[in-house]
Structure 1
Amino acid sequence: MDKPALTLTDRFGRRIEYLRLSVTDRCDLRCTYCLPKGFKDFEEPEHWLTFDEIERLLGAFARVGVNRIRLTGGEPLLRRNLPELAARLHRLPGIRDISLSTNATQLSKYAGALKNAGVARINVSLDSLKRERFARIAGRDCLDRVIAGLMAAKEAGFTPIKINMVALSGVNDDEIDDMVEFCMAHGFVLRLIETMPMGVTGRNAAYFDLQPVKRRLQEKFDLVEGVVPGGGPARYLQTPDGKFSVGFITPISQHFCATCNRVRLVVDGTLFMCLGQNEKFEFRPLLRAGARDADLETAIRTAIELKPERHEFHETPQKIVRFMSATGG
């Protein structure tokens, strides 16, 4: 008889099965809604969890019910030997899905190795298809490298490949239809994302309500409700033939807290329960003090009890001072 699968449930009855793992807080871009110009207050490398520590801790998460892992940053491909880590996590009993979020500047070099390591799906941040506008948003003129990375991922056989476009009022909201056509042409899934007031950069970003866009695209392309593989919060629409899907991640205009199934482990071993709250649990001291596997599993269950019912971006937009890159994208 098969051993019954364990479940990790918070105090509000939500099943926590998805862990977003930030392997570095560093990035080679400076997107206007994420990191301020000149920011250098990154975590010291000696504070980073090692691959051995990550593998051991995520093995404990898997034993108590987590089965999805997303590798994030900062920019995760800046972490040396990332495909090796992906392969190690892919072999953990209980882990059934590993995905990656990237800005794709390094993806053309690593797409094949990541696919061979067991990464199944890739999300690529792409906020504009116009070179000069991309450079203004991202802080670096490298759109060609991003597109090359996308095509390398397509050639390597990743499916689905999702394009994450942060919609910014008066900045790139006029490109949404162009991005739809780009994704349709290449077989990519488009995901439109509302900005969140995280840190000064997030609060200063030009927030754009996606609900009118959703209604307009639904009418223009005759879209119907759809489902796309993944464990995240996007709500999807698709063309009747199923060949194109667009998702909407709307933490402000239509929050998804009641169904939140995820937590975020950052590079120094701190677990954050919610992007919009400050509850956290530090695992690095346990790992480096020789904690047993059973101790780690107990600590995970204790940490999950701290997960709040919902964010408070509407009520207290000034509450979160950390930047998105420090919490995991």
Structure 2
Amino acid sequence: MQEPVRHIHDKLGRPLRDLRLSVTDQCNFRCRYCMPEELFGSDYEFLPREKLLTFEELTRITRIFVSLGVEKIRITGGEPLMRRELPKLIRMINGVDGVKDIAMTTNGSLLAKHAQALKEAGLRRITVSLDSLDEERFGRMNGRGFKPSHVLEGIEAASAAGLKVKVNMVVQKGVNEQDVLPMANYFREKGHILRFIEYMDVGNSNGWRLDQVVPSQEIVKLIHAEMPVEPMEPNHYGEVASRYRYAEETGKPGEIGLISSVTQAFCSTCTRMRISAEGRMFGCLFASEGADLREPLRGGRSDDEIRELITGFWRVREDRYSEVRLSNTPGLKKKKVEMSHIGG
């Protein structure tokens, strides 16, 4: 029998609704804004397997979080498809009473091989990162020379398998803003939602500067001038993307999204808890410290005890980094967890 759900809120009144599980810190890309080659090269020591949470531990965590009101699970990395037998984990999580949605974020390079198995295991949605359709530019951005065709093949395989696909593009001034319109045109024709993400100061190693950010409203104006768009209502409370649909007179339907963490912070409706690859809880993508769950899981603590740890952590949560950044960008210096440990 499923336990009664105990809904909890943080200090700012935000409910806990979404859980993001990082299954590995490894990635086969070296994107400049996440894992630059000079810091994450071939000799970089990733976490040994014994420090990663097992599938059984990840499933147990999911069950406990569901008892606290979580219904949506997102699998992240690193690159999650570098974790062996990932469909097995999806199947285990899908068997947890109360889980209503399982999604995954991936760079797409290994997706064509695994899409069907992921769908059959219970994955419902997938978000694929792709920052350019230009071969040279994309190869430079991913740091390993991967071509867009590798990712596009994965996207089409996922769509053919019946997964709902979204595509994320990080837009960085002076790097790939010229790709906004080609990407919008391409994915509108393909029928996939494309979301533009403002270049963010995640982790400690991407050399972020505010003058490298292309504000979302500039992207909307650029697209609107060629293909008129109009705003849409959010799908649900806490949705991170502002939604726009192509106007009816443009002939072909479609939708884009804008994730504006820098210029239009959405901290006030954030409902997400993140578990890092080594089993630490983080209440914010930009957090500097987390709370350990791996030791309690392996130290014989009961579900009730772990539930109390989670509850205590969430109830004192007051993270709102992006809102603070908006008011004090030059003076905000803070060491943050690397995104390769907790996903996007």
Q: Shift in Å at residue 224 of structure 1? A: 1.9
**Partner residue of 1:313 out of 325, 335, 341:** 325
Following TM superposition, the consecutive aligned residue runs of length 4 or more in structure 1 with deviations greater than 4 angstroms are 2-5, 227-232
Amino acid at match of 1:211: Q
Matches within 5 A, 1:22-61: 22-38=22-38, 39=40, 40-61=44-65
TM-score of the superposition, structure 1-length normalised?
0.93
SS at match of 1:98: strand
SS at match of 1:201: coil
| Map of 2:9 onto structure 1 | 9
| Map of 1:323 onto structure 2 | 338
Matches within 5 A, 1:265-304: 265-304=275-314
Q: Shift in Å at residue 52 of structure 1? A: 0.7
Q: Shift in Å at residue 195 of structure 1? A: 1.7
Given that residues 279 and 307 in structure 1 are in contact (C-alpha distance below 8 angstroms), is that contact kept between their aligned partners in structure 2? no
1:177-224 per-position Cα deviation (integer Å, ceiling 9, x unaligned): 100011111111010001221212152693222222223334542222
1:13-48 per-position Cα deviation (integer Å, ceiling 9, x unaligned): 111101111100110000011112141142222110
Given that residues 274 and 307 in structure 1 are in contact (C-alpha distance below 8 angstroms), is that contact kept between their aligned partners in structure 2? no
Structure 1's unaligned 5+ residue stretches are none
| Map of 2:271 onto structure 1 | 261
Given that residues 196 and 202 in structure 1 are in contact (C-alpha distance below 8 angstroms), is that contact kept between their aligned partners in structure 2? no
Amino acid at match of 2:312: T
SS at match of 1:184: helix
Separation of aligned partners in 1, 2:333 and 2:29? 24
Amino acid at match of 1:6: R
| Map of 2:241 onto structure 1 | 234
Given that residues 34 and 201 in structure 1 are in contact (C-alpha distance below 8 angstroms), is that contact kept between their aligned partners in structure 2? yes
SS at match of 2:206: helix
SS at match of 1:247: strand
Amino acid at match of 1:132: E
Q: Shift in Å at residue 283 of structure 1? A: 0.4
Given that residues 258 and 309 in structure 1 are in contact (C-alpha distance below 8 angstroms), is that contact kept between their aligned partners in structure 2? no
Structure 2's unaligned 5+ residue stretches are none
Q: Shift in Å at residue 108 of structure 1? A: 0.5
Matches within 5 A, 1:214-225: 214-225=220-231
Q: Shift in Å at residue 299 of structure 1? A: 1.0
Q: 1:317 to 1:76 in 2, by over 3 A?
A: farther
Q: 1:90 to 1:301 in 2, by over 3 A?
A: same
Given that residues 164 and 191 in structure 1 are in contact (C-alpha distance below 8 angstroms), is that contact kept between their aligned partners in structure 2? yes
Larger CA deviation: 299-308 vs 47-56? 299-308
Matches within 5 A, 1:81-120: 81-120=85-124
| Map of 2:184 onto structure 1 | 180
Amino acid at match of 2:271: N
Amino acid at match of 1:281: A
Amino acid at match of 1:172: N
Given that residues 21 and 342 in structure 2 are in contact (C-alpha distance below 8 angstroms), is that contact kept between their aligned partners in structure 1? no
TM-score of the superposition, structure 2-length normalised?
0.89
Separation of aligned partners in 2, 1:258 and 1:6? 21
Separation of aligned partners in 1, 2:302 and 2:13? 28
Q: Does 1:152 align with 2:157?
A: yes
Larger CA deviation: 240-249 vs 220-229? 220-229
SS at match of 1:196: coil
TM-align CA RMSD: 2.0
Q: 1:195 to 1:317 in 2, by over 3 A?
A: farther
Q: 1:270 to 1:3 in 2, by over 3 A?
A: closer
Amino acid at match of 2:219: V
